[in-house]
């Protein structure tokens, strides 16, 4: 991709030279600027991770509300498996989207169940794929997972904290696990990115239990 971008850019430079009669110095400057831009492009090989909080409306409301307020301040969404009664696919059916599975009316009715969380300022998202992929059967869980681009069925949780604990406690536990992992694999870019990401959420959370 980088080579293709550079080839296209150099072709444009050559075209510009023919039309605008650029000097050799101008061409060299454009080549340098193009190369610099290419070097700043995000690497396609870079491993990306995300922090997510898996929860359920079956949790005690007080615990869920406390987690919602912390998640709001940390900049993290609360992720639910779905709304209403889970409907499984028949063996010969392809996976359905949320709207295909439940219908717009049912989604709208059940979204009122999340109103107290939205009023607290929390971001709510519904992601049954996350729960199925990582076999999440008990909540709450705070997880660090790879961002899936391909071979999603092979993606696995990198780090997690389970149980009804504060978000700070969960994130600090995960951060300690990442630090231990880095002692034996200090050049692992995925671990480094995960460490930076968790720290950013901790910083946003501020000084609280």
Residue 197 reports pLDDT greater than 90 = yes
- Model confidence at 150: pLDDT above 80: no
Whether omega for the bond prior to residue 140 falls within 30 degrees of 0, making it cis, is yes
Predicted pLDDT of residue 14: 45
Cα 50 from Cα 149, distance rounded (Å): 13
- The answer to whether the beta carbons of residues 81 and 110 sit under 8 Å apart is no
Residues 131 and 81 sit within 8 Å (Cβ to Cβ) = yes
Q: What is the pLDDT of residues 79-108, one digit of tens each?
A: 998 775 455 566 676 666 655 655 555 556
Segment holding 10, helix H or strand E: helix 2-20
Separation of alpha carbons 119 and 61, rounded Å? 14
Other Cβ atoms closer than 10 A to 145: 20
pTM here is 0.67
- Residue 43 zone, left/alpha/beta (φ > 0; ψ -120 to 50; rest): beta
pLDDT at 196: 97
Q: What is the mean pLDDT of the segment spanning 118-125?
A: 92
> What 3-state DSSP class applies to 126?
strand
């Amino acid at each position: 991709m980088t080579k293709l971008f550079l080839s296209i850019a150099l072709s444009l430079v050559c075209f510009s030279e023919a039309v605008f009669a650029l000097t050799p110095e101008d061409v060299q400057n454009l080549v340098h600027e193009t190369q610099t831009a290419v070097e700043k492009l995000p690497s396609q090989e870079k491993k990306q991770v995300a922090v997510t909080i898996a929860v359920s409306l079956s949790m005690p409301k007080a615990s869920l509300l406390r987690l919602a307020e912390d998640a709001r301040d940390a900049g993290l969404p609360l992720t639910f498996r779905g709304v209403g009664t889970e409907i499984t696919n028949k063996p010969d059916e392809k996976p359905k989207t949320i709207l295909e599975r439940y219908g717009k009316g049912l989604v709208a009715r059940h979204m009122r169940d999340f109103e107290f969380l939205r009023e607290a300022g929390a971001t709510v998202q519904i992601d049954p794929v996350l729960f199925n992929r990582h076999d999440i059967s008990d909540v709450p869980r705070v997880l660090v997972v790879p961002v899936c681009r391909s071979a999603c069925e092979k993606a696995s949780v990198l780090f997690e904290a389970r149980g009804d604990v504060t978000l700070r406690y969960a994130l600090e536990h995960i951060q300690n696990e990442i630090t231990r992992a880095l002692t034996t694999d200090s050049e692992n870019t995925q671990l480094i990115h995960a460490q930076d990401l968790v720290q950013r959420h901790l910083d946003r959370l501020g000084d609280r239990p």
